[in-house]
Structure 1
Amino acid sequence: MPAEIRKTLLHVENTLIEGGKVAEQPLKMIAAIAVIRNPWAGRGFVDDLKPEIQDCAPGLGSLLTDMVLEAAGGGDMVEGYGKAAIVGVNGEIEHGSALIHTLRFGNFYREAVSAKSYLAFTNTRGPANAAMQIPLMDKNDGGRRSHYLTIQLQVADAPAPDEIMIALGASIGGRPHHRIGDRYQDLKELGHDVDNPASV
């Protein structure tokens, strides 16, 4: 049975000024959220989560990806990306993990934005109005620190104890005025081979 969705939300924020200085390129961050009934709610400890993963994850991945792409203006516009889940207090963190840590969910997004990096994530448990944090990273370059961002938001009535909030996040642009370099610069300064960071 597909996910029982109570509501969806689209969060869009545009940062025009940061540190008192106008951004050369405004930063746009987008979050697409679905509040769903926890498919394992009220069933006690469930050993095999796979049937519900297969039923729910693909539809959620497709829906949330479409919401992000519409708000961004297409997959090519997305630069940073990530995902998150908050499980209501009657559920297990494993329930949120089951829905977002599967290729049946994430591949819709990854393929739609032509990404190479893994999807940064958080999965937590909390009450209604708990802060959801969606970490972002560059979709093609995990060492590009300008795109290490976090979308933070709250939904006043979600998740209910028997619900899960599932989200995808995106950025168009990186942090305004970013000036801490990237991972590769640090590796060079520390004497590491950029192509083989474990070597000295």
Structure 2
Amino acid sequence: MAAPSVRKFVTIVDEVFHENGPPAATPHRRGAILAVIENPFAGRYVDEIAPFMTDLEPLGLAMAERLIEALGGAPERIEAYGKGAIVGAAGEVEHAALWHAPGGYAMREALGGAKAIVPSAKKVGAPGTRIDIPIAHKDASYVRSHFDAMEVGINDAPRANELVVVLAMTTGARIHNRAGGLAASAVEGKDGLR
């Protein structure tokens, strides 16, 4: 197959100063980058779709690098991540699953070898469909302070023959987190869990 045909990119950055508590000296930043691409399988059933994952790898890495730049340009400041995809109505949810490996490995590589599994969400939808991208700590899935989600969507995507692929990252824990659990400062980073 060929490189994915990109119609557009959308980048979103939130700066959260407080959630009804005292304002933080440094805001919690979370961001997402979305790419609207042509779905090469739209409108028909194709049995062998896995090779498209390889085609998506350069896009994943480019998106991860662009998102790190949007969040300040310092990979070491990124603490959590997530990914997802929305498939247009002429596709199937399995087409979104093709984003799992290229999206996840791209962020791990761009962040210098993050250990934890990258949480993910996928769905089929029409233009304007929104999706909650789950977010978790990049090195230890049990770090409860970093469990979060970021809702994203694009008003004119996905069209029936498109996919919207998404990467999300944050610079830290939820603002005012106080739900306990494994502290980020106690992460061993060996197995992606603790």
Which range, TM-score by smaller chain?
Answer: 0.7 to 0.9
TM-score by length of 1: 0.85
Question: Post-superposition, which runs of at least 4 consecutive aligned residues in structure 1 deviate over 3 A?
Answer: none
Q: Distance in 2 between matches of 1:130 and 1:19?
A: 29
2:74 paired residue number? 74
Cα separation, partners in 2 of 1:59 and 1:111, compared to 1, 3 Å:
closer
The one-letter amino acid paired with 1:116 is K
2:18 and 2:176 in contact (8 A); partners too = no
The one-letter amino acid paired with 1:161 is A
The one-letter amino acid paired with 1:29 is R
2:121 paired residue number? 122
1:61 paired residue number? 60
TM-score by length of 2: 0.87
Matching of residue 161 in structure 1 with residue 160 in structure 2: yes
SS of 1:134's equivalent in the other structure is strand
Q: Distance in 2 between matches of 1:25 and 1:180?
A: 20
Q: Distance in 2 between matches of 1:101 and 1:108?
A: 10
1:31 and 1:169 in contact (8 A); partners too = yes
Q: Distance in 2 between matches of 1:123 and 1:173?
A: 24
SS of 1:58's equivalent in the other structure is helix
SS of 1:40's equivalent in the other structure is coil
1:129 and 1:156 in contact (8 A); partners too = yes
2:38 paired residue number? 37
State the aligned residue count.
180
Map 1:146-185 → 2, pairs under 5 A: 146-182=145-181
1:83 and 1:119 in contact (8 A); partners too = yes
The CA deviation at 1:77 is: 1.2
1:3 and 1:59 in contact (8 A); partners too = no
1:196 paired residue number? none
1:17 paired residue number? 18
The CA deviation at 1:106 is: 2.2
Q: Distance in 2 between matches of 1:39 and 1:60?
A: 15
2:6 paired residue number? 5
2:157 and 2:164 in contact (8 A); partners too = yes
1:81 and 1:139 in contact (8 A); partners too = yes
2:88 and 2:161 in contact (8 A); partners too = yes
Q: Distance in 2 between matches of 1:51 and 1:9?
A: 26
The CA deviation at 1:183 is: 5.6
SS of 1:109's equivalent in the other structure is helix
2:188 paired residue number? none
Cα RMSD (Å): 1.5
The CA deviation at 1:51 is: 2.9
The one-letter amino acid paired with 1:32 is I
2:105 paired residue number? 107
The one-letter amino acid paired with 1:163 is E
1:25 and 1:176 in contact (8 A); partners too = no
User: Unmatched 5+ residue regions in structure 1?
Assistant: 185-200
Q: Distance in 2 between matches of 1:9 and 1:21?
A: 31
The CA deviation at 1:75 is: 1.3
1:93 paired residue number? 93
